[in-house]
């Protein structure tokens, strides 16, 4: 049976790894750390976030998290005054290599222009993306180094992916440079994009429902009711705009011959109280059109509002017989046809 020390400790590449088995504690450079299997635990973690959040949102989550974690690291090393940016970059990449983050080489680092290039090979993110079957690499590590150098340079640094290991290259190449782009802007842009997509979806639903309602209104609006032989009634309901007025005229003229109507009774009782001049002219138009096919028009249920509007215009309804109620109009039409209700 192999004996294991209660508090084992090792030094690799100048970095200390310690364990306290009684407390279940793993220390990396004196700080609490954890170990995860990349191909199972970490992959499951990434898969779950993408499943819940969706690919686009989860990419932003990884990128934002990577940048903000990197910013903490960069600001920490920036406070160590006896360490240059170049030395800090070397310490950080060596530390990450010992922690299983893959191999990162910083090239062309220029403190004046605050630019650099990173060559990243066999990182844990690459391995996860490879297991996920992805064709392009994730944004955690590229953004993480952007956060690191934002802290080291004291100015906002962003990145551009030049090539990716997932595409078959030996390593990924990332360029870093000062930029106004930052994770906060990206979060707001995604939020606005999502809001815009939701608005478009709602607009599409509203448009579809409006179309359905219009079709329904066409079917039920102002139906032609054959009450007696040669007599039909069309009740005018609600408010009539130009489109609805045209629909009423066409629908009425198309159906009058089928009913062999001698009299068309327009019942105005159900008209909207806010009657416009357009509605008044509609009555004249439909009556004149009906007369062309030999049908006489009778108006019933004219309100005081409509009579006031008509009196203030050039519209003349004197050629139509007008009655107070639908019953009166039907009795009149019957009398003109030489019939009566017994």
Q: Which residues pair with 11 in a beta bridge?
A: 16
Q: In what order do the strands lie in the sheet with 172-178?
A: 103-110, 115-121, 172-178, 157-163
| pTM for the full predicted model | 0.56
Could you tell me the residue ranges of all domains in the chain?
A: 1-35, 39-190, 220-336
Distance CA 14, CA 288 (A): 101
Distance CA 39, CA 49 (A): 16
| 330, HSE (Cβ side, Cα atoms, 13 Å) | 13
DSSP string, 191-210: HHHHHHHHHHHHHHHHHHHH
pLDDT value of residue 1: 44
Can you read off the two tokens belonging to residue 113? 């222009």
* C-alpha dist (Å) from residue 84 to 33, 87, 103, 113: 26, 5, 21, 15
May I ask the CATH class of domain 220-336? alpha beta
pLDDT value of residue 188: 61
Within 8 A by CB and 6+ apart from 246, the residues are none
Within 8 A by CB and 6+ apart from 322, the residues are 298, 299, 300, 302
Residue range 258-281: average pLDDT?
Answer: 81
Q: How many residues belong to the chain?
A: 342
pLDDT value of residue 302: 83
Residue range 18-26: average pLDDT?
Answer: 86
The residue ranges of DSSP E strands in 14-58, in sequence order, are 15-20, 25-28, 31-33
Asked if pLDDT for residue 243 goes beyond 80, the answer is no
Residue range 105-130: average pLDDT?
Answer: 95
* CATH code for the structural domain at 39-190: 3.30.1380
Instruction: Name the residue among 259, 218, 231, 256 with its Cα closest to residue 326.
Output: 231
Instruction: Name the residue among 330, 263, 262 with its Cα closest to residue 300.
Output: 330
Contact indicator for 120, 171 with CB cutoff of 8 Å: yes
- 182-225 pLDDT tens trace: 777 766 665 565 656 666 777 677 778 777 777 766 666 668 88
Distance CA 18, CA 31 (A): 9
Q: Which residues pair with 32 in a beta bridge?
A: 27
pLDDT value of residue 194: 61
Q: When comparing pLDDT for 230 and 219, which is higher? A: 230
pLDDT band at 170 (very low <50, low <70, confident <90, very high): very high
Percent of the chain clearing pLDDT 70 (strictly above): 90
pLDDT value of residue 60: 84
CA angle 242, 245, 251 (to 5 degrees): 140
Helices marked H in 221-325 = 242-259, 277-292, 304-311
Q: Which residues pair with 120 in a beta bridge?
A: 104, 172
Distance CA 104, CA 136 (A): 18
- 42-95 pLDDT tens trace: 899 889 988 888 888 888 888 888 998 998 988 888 887 678 889 999 989 988
Select, from the ranges 117-131, 230-244, 280-294, the one with the highest average predicted confidence (pLDDT).
117-131
pLDDT value of residue 116: 96
């Amino acid at each position: 049976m192999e004996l294991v020390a209660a508090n084992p400790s090792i030094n690799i590449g100048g970095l200390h790894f310690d364990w306290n088995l009684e407390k279940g504690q793993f220390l990396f450079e004196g700080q609490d750390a954890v170990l995860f299997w990349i191909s199972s635990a970490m992959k499951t973690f990434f898969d779950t976030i993408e499943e819940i959040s969706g690919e686009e949102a989860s990419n932003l989550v990884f990128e934002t998290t990577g940048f903000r974690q990197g910013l903490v690291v960069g600001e920490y090393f920036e406070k160590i005054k006896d360490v240059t940016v170049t030395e800090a970059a070397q310490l950080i990449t060596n530390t990450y290599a010992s922690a299983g983050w893959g191999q990162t080489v910083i090239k062309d680092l220029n403190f004046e222009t605050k630019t650099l290039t990173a060559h990243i090979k066999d990182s844990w993110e690459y391995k996860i993306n490879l297991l996920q079957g992805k064709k392009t690499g994730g944004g955690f590590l590229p953004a993480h180094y952007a956060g690191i150098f934002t802290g080291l340079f004291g100015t906002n640094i962003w990145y551009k992916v030049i090539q990716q290991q997932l595409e078959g290259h030996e390593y990924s190449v990332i360029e870093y440079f000062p930029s106004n782009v930052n994770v906060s802007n990206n979060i707001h842009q995604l939020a606005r994009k999502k809001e815009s997509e939701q608005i478009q979806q709602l607009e599409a639903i509203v448009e579809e429902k409006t179309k359905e309602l219009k079709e329904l209104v066409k079917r039920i609006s102002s139906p032609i009711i054959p009450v007696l032989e040669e007599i039909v009634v069309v009740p005018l309901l609600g408010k009539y705009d130009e489109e609805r007025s045209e629909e009423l005229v066409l629908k009425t003229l198309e159906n009058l011959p089928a009913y062999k109507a001698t009299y068309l009774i327009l019942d105005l009782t159900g008209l909207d109280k806010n009657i416009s001049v357009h509605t008044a002219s509609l009555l004249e138009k439909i009556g004149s059109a009906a007369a062309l096919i030999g049908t006489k028009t009778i108006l019933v249920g004219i309100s005081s509002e409509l009579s006031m509007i008509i009196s203030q215009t050039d519209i003349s309804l004197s050629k139509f017989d007008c009655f107070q109620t639908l019953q009166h109009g039907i009795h009149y039409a019957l009398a003109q046809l030489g019939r009566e209700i017994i």
